[in-house]
Amino acid sequence: MKLASCTLYITSLLWLNLTHAKIGYFWHITDLHYDPFHNSPEFKGCRHGHNHKEHSHRNGRHRLETCDASWSLIQSAAAFMAERHPDTLEFVLWTGDILSSSMEHASEELKLEAVRNVTDVLSRTFSSQFVFPALGHNDPPPSRRLVDMWMQWLPTEALDTFETGGYYTIEQSHSKLRIVVLNSNLWAGGASRSDAHAHSHARAQWKWLEGVLDKTRKQHEMVYLVAHAGPGMEERPNAGSASAAGGGELSPLANSRILHTIRQYSDVIAGQFYGHRHADTFRIIYNEGRPVSWAFLAPSLTPRGAGSVSNPGLRLYKFDSNTGKVLDYTQYYLDISHTRGETHWSIEYNLTQYYGLREVTAASLDALADRIRNHHDRGVFAKYLAALRARHATDTDCDSACVHVHFCAITRADYHDFRACVSNPASALASRAPHPHSAAILLYAILVLIST
């Protein structure tokens, strides 16, 4: 009996050790918007040098607004991550908009110098981990110089596709998890659609992505889709009346096609990770009414957003490093209203505890979306709203119509469905993913024709 008990005890310890050995962590940092011209010691205010020739286009009104990330903010974030990350940190997702829009008219040399400075900080911070960067719309385009800068993190085959198109895949040697980093700039709405060169790269990325996902399925792997911007619309209260290009970063055709691809390969997509919105939110993808995939959008490091202000945020994920299954995340933030002298990054919340989730799945997040929409339980929505701008109280006045727009943004990633949801609240009580409208079917048919 004693031998049997001892054997059972040892077996239990081994099982626990094996279970623990599967647990890994990764950081997700996004939208640094580094502004080399921001020389104020305060994170929320700024003073710009007037004698810099690349900065002469800024006017006085802009200098009074909240600025993008200063060098001191980036250093503060790096120091905190270096201090907090666990020994089982596997990698870092860095999803773009490295540079502030203040550098739009700066020379390419100055832009690349700024990117190199941030790269050097991350290299020192994560000296034993790989950092996987994705390009944002404020960043320099793919080039040999960027390749030289990031070759410390990416293997040769990844550098080849990155140099030509800004996208790549990483196959984890010790697990069945593959990371697929996309260049969402190639699928963005606006002038790029008329650029034949960009259109050619966009088509190449579609073909490449589908090939990678096919290979992933055949090899029984799982995938993280990573990009600066993902599918769906913004959660602004007036977004329902906005154009698709204004409310969504991707062009309507690209948005439809990526949603189709996600549904088609949802069995191998373990998660999607995006930035761009400067907001802490999530998206659910449905297939014939059934939730099949989720996407987490991390808040920005910069405190400045489009018409809003947020506290700087950093996110640490906990996951099964063998399968890629996300188990939880911890959201950190820096309260910019209390940064006099010293900086104190704090835990904002833990996902599963904050929302009372048993697991992180499309179904559990679908149930959470229902709770957010529930007018009889505004407590859950209050939590969601508090987290949206990393506890910066800018959107506290949100009536039932506003709540509904947030719900539509979470559950209607298709542009047409989002607008229908916003304009007709009763439709939100029906299936999350109504069968495609004839217009949507026609859009996708056109997309297939022009991309072949």
pLDDT of residue 53: 38
Give the C-alpha distances (Å, rounded to integers) separating 132 from 152, 225, 277, 359: 10, 12, 19, 26
Residue 320: pLDDT band (50, 70, 90) is very high
Domain 24-450 - what CATH class? Answer: alpha beta
First and final CA of the chain: distance in angstroms? Answer: 70
235 or 281, which is more confident? 281
CB contact at 8 A, 317 and 25: yes
CB contact at 8 A, 298 and 273: yes
What does the alpha-carbon distance between residue 154 and residue 149 come to, in Å, rounded to a whole number? Answer: 10
Task: Transcribe 296-362 into DSSP letters.
Answer: EEPPPSSSB-SS-B---EEEEEEEETTT--EEEEEEEEE-GGG-SSS--EEEEEEHHHHHT-SS-SH
pLDDT in tens, 165-197: 999 999 877 789 999 999 999 999 764 445 667
Which distant-in-sequence residues (6+ apart) come within 8 Å of 253 by Cβ? 443, 444, 446, 447
Of 191, 180, 293, 164, residue with least CA distance to 251: 191
Instruction: Report residue 351 as tokens.
Output: 């996902």
- Is the pLDDT at 317 greater than 50? The verdict is yes
Predicted structure pTM score: 0.86
pLDDT of residue 340: 59
What does the alpha-carbon distance between residue 285 and residue 408 come to, in Å, rounded to a whole number? Answer: 12
Residue 358: pLDDT band (50, 70, 90) is very high
Of 309, 298, 297, 313, residue with least CA distance to 80: 313
375 or 108, which is more confident? 108
* Chain centroid offset of residue 432 CA: 22
Residue 233: pLDDT band (50, 70, 90) is very high
Q: In what order do the strands lie in the sheet with 89-94?
A: 130-133, 89-94, 23-29, 313-320, 326-334, 345-350
Domain ranges of the chain: 24-450
What does the alpha-carbon distance between residue 376 and residue 330 come to, in Å, rounded to a whole number? Answer: 28
- Is the pLDDT at 62 greater than 50? The verdict is no
pLDDT of residue 5: 52
CA angle 311, 314, 319 (to 5 degrees): 145
What does the alpha-carbon distance between residue 356 and residue 354 come to, in Å, rounded to a whole number? Answer: 6
What does the alpha-carbon distance between residue 70 and residue 21 come to, in Å, rounded to a whole number? Answer: 38
Burial classification of residue 439, based on how many CB atoms lie within 10 Å of its CB (0-12 exposed, 13-18 middle, 19 or more buried): exposed
What does the alpha-carbon distance between residue 75 and residue 344 come to, in Å, rounded to a whole number? Answer: 13
What does the alpha-carbon distance between residue 375 and residue 243 come to, in Å, rounded to a whole number? Answer: 28
pLDDT of residue 399: 85
Most confident of 57-66, 195-204, 281-290, 308-317: 281-290
